[in-house]
Structure 1
């Protein structure tokens, strides 16, 4: 790491896992097993690697639906079952059965007003401090170009979802400040991260007072992000070979993680280490090394821990 009076800088030279995901996303630290799981949305795969055993422990499970994000379920051993964001909503994945069957999941609830709308699919999301799951929808890959037909849904247990934001094109990460009073939401195609006042009270509107927290000025787009315990937001930037650390108080960039490939998609904290997913690049879209490292998983120690993820309350 290097630093100046204005910005901290880290540089990653090579991937921790070189596996050429088409669209690596959704890194999630599974504390119960000290593993990191992440997805390849386009390839419909769930990857899991033991952080104790290292890269050679990678296990890949093939599904028949684009899985975009995962979460632990309160009271459930994640080695048995986890929550996934899938094509039509949120589902419970039976991880043991998934080794033998591509449809080893059961929907908990589907998107409100969407049902079996094949134009759309679930994208990024997260569990809020109250145990509810937030998940955005967007135009599916095969039905592009992407249109502003997506929305952001909040799932309460098995009760289904309510729509809390409409007219979005590429909805991405949702997160909460360490004190749980502020929610952040990335609208990638608008190059904007919004902040909201957040309430976990049952029956509340959940969010209010939408405002711009960060606007990206570069050629790329802010993608997945996480919050650290000091309240700063770490956002991957798709197309620009870096992760940016944005001050939670000012919305200004105060740090940068530089990476040797271009399409940076999401981040996850494991202690003070940041694990970073990326997407594949076409031949000729960059240098030979950038293409070779694309779709890999990277790691770097950034000296601060992240806010732990919340668990989904299935029977809330």
Structure 2
């Protein structure tokens, strides 16, 4: 397969994460996680707009809110905040809080989050402010829907990361970076319930010299999952029924964080990366991968 990996101009972030393709606006939203940066790549203009959230230190995900074109749900350490942004100004501001995670788990922060096909929130936590977070399992995985309470789906999570859904196969996939695994669950779209966890991809088995860390996830219309590897310079296209790697997509920097299909035909794979340890260029760049002969799904707005 001849795919092509190209950098998006002016896209560098310290910790690029959480790509979300907004079909209505033909824009890719993503965050610069530990600088409280939120960004929008306008496909038609081929231009990136960057904003900082006033008074905040983190932005761990960005999800457009249904029916409110200038409001976004953003992970601000321990709360899911509603941020007002016009998509082009250099400053954005928090206007209210949707919910907070459990106060008794004070050493946790929100990490990756997404909306399911029905517009519900799913996201998880990881140890915050602690040195050895790759060896701590105090995180949790949550769901939330408008008018409801935050539900704990799973406790004893290490570093909660990528999430994606396959409505045809009735599956939900979740990556726990600290376990080196992607786990598949049975998923009930009507209720949002997940059950019967089963490891579908074990990254300990790929490179004998050391396990790879799974980070963000996405899925194509054929049901194959795409796994970003932090420290691995690769995205793996995997058949989750067999665990078989179908394609290894090489990215020209090591800290590959997340990914999402987008573009007018939903056939461009956008890949975020990080530079959290003084890596050489192009670390932290957002890349577009074309020629994969696959299509994905647009992001879903959060219903509040």
2: CA distance, partners of 1:182 / 1:47? 30
Residues 97 and 258 from structure 1, CA distance in 2 versus in 1: closer, same or farther, beyond 3 angstroms? closer
Partner of 1:175: 164
Contact 1:173 1:224 in 2 (8 A): yes
1:236-275 correspondence runs (5 A):
236-270=228-262, 271-275=266-270
**Is residue 135 from structure 1 mapped to residue 123 from structure 2 by the alignment?**
yes
Determine if contact 1:90/1:108 at 8 Å carries over to the other structure: yes
Structure 2: gaps (5+ residues): none
The structure 1 residue matched to 2:272, chosen from 273, 277, 285, is 277
Query: Structure 2 matches for 1:150-161, cutoff 5 A?
Result: 150-161=139-150
1:228 counterpart = 2:217: no
Question: Which residue of 1 is the match for residue 173 of structure 2?
Answer: 184
In 1, Cα distance between equivalents of 2:87 and 2:20:
20
Kindly tell me the number of residue pairs found equivalent between the two proteins: 291
Equivalent residues in 2 for 1:1-316, closer than 5 Å: 1-2=1-2, 10=3, 12=5, 14-54=6-46, 57-63=47-53, 64-77=56-69, 80-96=70-86, 99=89, 103-111=93-101, 113-114=102-103, 118-140=106-128, 142-146=129-133, 147-179=136-168, 181-202=170-191, 206-216=193-203, 217=205, 218=207, 219-270=211-262, 271-280=266-275, 282-283=277-278, 291-301=280-290, 302-314=292-304
Instruction: Calculate the aligned-residue CA RMSD, in Å.
Output: 2.1
- CA separation in 2, counterparts of 1:15 and 1:165? 36
Per mean C-alpha deviation after superposition, the further-off stretch among 21-30 and 102-111 is 102-111
Give TM-score, length-normalised by structure 1: 0.85
Report the TM-score, using the length of structure 2 for normalisation.
0.89
CA, structure 1 residues 256+24, in 2 after alignment: closer, same or farther (shift >3 Å)? same
| Structure 1: gaps (5+ residues) | 3-9, 286-290
Following the alignment from structure 2 to structure 1, what is the Cα–Cα distance between the partners of residues 277 and 66?
40
Alpha-carbon distance in 1 for matches of 2:42, 2:92? 22
